[in-house]
Amino acid sequence: MKKTLVAIAALAAATGAMAQSSVELYGIIDMGYNKIVSDGTAKITQTSVGAGANSANGSGNLNGSRIGFRGKEDLGNGLNAGFVIEYGVNLTGIGTANTANDANADALTKESAIGQAGLANVRQGFLSLSKNTLGTVNVGTQYALHDATSGAVAGSSATGGTNNVVGASNLLKYGYTGGQPRLANAIGYVSPTFSGVTLRAIRNEGKAVTGDSTVAGTSKTNSANSLAVDYVNGPLKAGIAQTKYESVGAIAATGGQTMLVDVLGGGNDRVGATALAAGTLMNITNRVAGAQYNAGFANFGVNRGTYETNALASTAKDIKSGQTLYSVAVPVAAGVNVMGGYATGMLSQGGADAYKTSAYDLIVVKELSKRTNVYALYVKTKYTAQATTNSAADAQQYQYGVGVRHSF
């Protein structure tokens, strides 16, 4: 009897030890049928199965498809170790547009040459140490905090976390930048939450090479600081964040001019002043502030996002984009949500207004289970040329589609 009790006690102790460490496989698959149309100098159409566009984030309309692993180990005394490794996944090929360059191309050859389905970039990858009373330190690839605030805390998430290539959420989150920012050589800190307030900070080291005459850089080249304050109090969520990139090198521009409006098809893009020479250093600053309020019958949101470049050589070529987003999500029936967003703002260069921007989202989501839903969306972005622009032509782009999203 005693041996039996000892064996049971040993088994229980072993089971308890194993329970202190865990690893989870998770992900999202977002697939749909979509049509994107840009209208400017010409009308250009792209029809795709899978998502509006493939990207380093993973294909998808409401969210980028992804697969990841996360783990946590209890080290005792309130101390925990953890990790996240997450990849974007493109589940379909790149698709084709009906531009002149594509008209006579062999679709199979293009798909094979340019890229088919597969893993995209690392979305997140970091190791963490946390203590209940002190907070959490993360080291590795992490989301810049202005992106996390605009997508998770401020009003844009009321429109469904859209990952499409046009629309109000896209215009606010990405503005001129056209991409989702991540800090790949970063150390971050998240404070404990006090009275609903959480502080976040990330420092990214750009791995700059200094003291070498063949390298045009400083100790700050490609480094970044990202700061955020989050507040949660019952139905109210609010956040403010800023990310500043230091001494970033400009890249060569097509045709030697700055790309101000980037839409489907090169013929409908809109350019600005002569671009900075490749490698010219500039500072880039992203800011976002906003809030959501859940009134029960609807979730209301508003936030403001800005993007600025500060060229160290020529302020006449600086770019500034500012967008304000208003959003609402309404549960209209059991498991059915209707979400809408409207964004408006201005895109300027050298202190002169270039394009007035506006966009809206309309999304309907039907929950089939806790993990699976179907959706339909229509989103549109419009760029209206101002008198001071040197490329006085309007441009617009819209997308509509239907799809299925499953999380695991």
Asked whether the beta carbons of 155 and 236 are under 8 A apart, the reply is no
What is the phi/psi pair of residue 254, to 5°? -60, 130
Number of CB atoms found within 10 A of residue 210's CB: 10
Asked whether the beta carbons of 89 and 71 are under 8 A apart, the reply is no
Q: What is the structure's pLDDT at 160?
A: 54
Retrieve residue 226's tokens: 């990202």
CA–CA separation, 49 and 323 (whole Å): 30
CA–CA separation, 160 and 337 (whole Å): 10
Tell me the chain's radius of gyration from C-alpha atoms: 23
* pTM for the model: 0.81
Q: What is the structure's pLDDT at 36?
A: 86
What b/e string do you get for 251-275 counting C-beta neighbours within 10 Å, with b at 16 or more? Answer: eebeeebbbbbbbbbbebbbbbbeb
Q: What is the structure's pLDDT at 90?
A: 80
Asked whether the beta carbons of 84 and 126 are under 8 A apart, the reply is yes
| pLDDT lower than 70: segments of the chain | 1-20, 50-58, 93-120, 150-166, 173-180, 207-220, 250-259, 266, 273-276, 278-279, 312-315, 387-392
Q: What is the structure's pLDDT at 102?
A: 40
What is the phi/psi pair of residue 156, to 5°? -65, -25
Number of CB atoms found within 10 A of residue 79's CB: 13
Q: What is the structure's pLDDT at 135?
A: 97
CA–CA separation, 277 and 192 (whole Å): 45
Retrieve residue 62's tokens: 């409401």
Could you tell me the end-to-end alpha-carbon distance of the chain, in angstroms, rounded to an integer?
45
53-82: pLDDT as tens digits? 555 566 778 878 889 999 999 999 999 999
What is the phi/psi pair of residue 223, to 5°? -85, 165
Retrieve residue 132's tokens: 């209940």
Residue among 229, 82, 220 at smallest CA distance from 149:
229
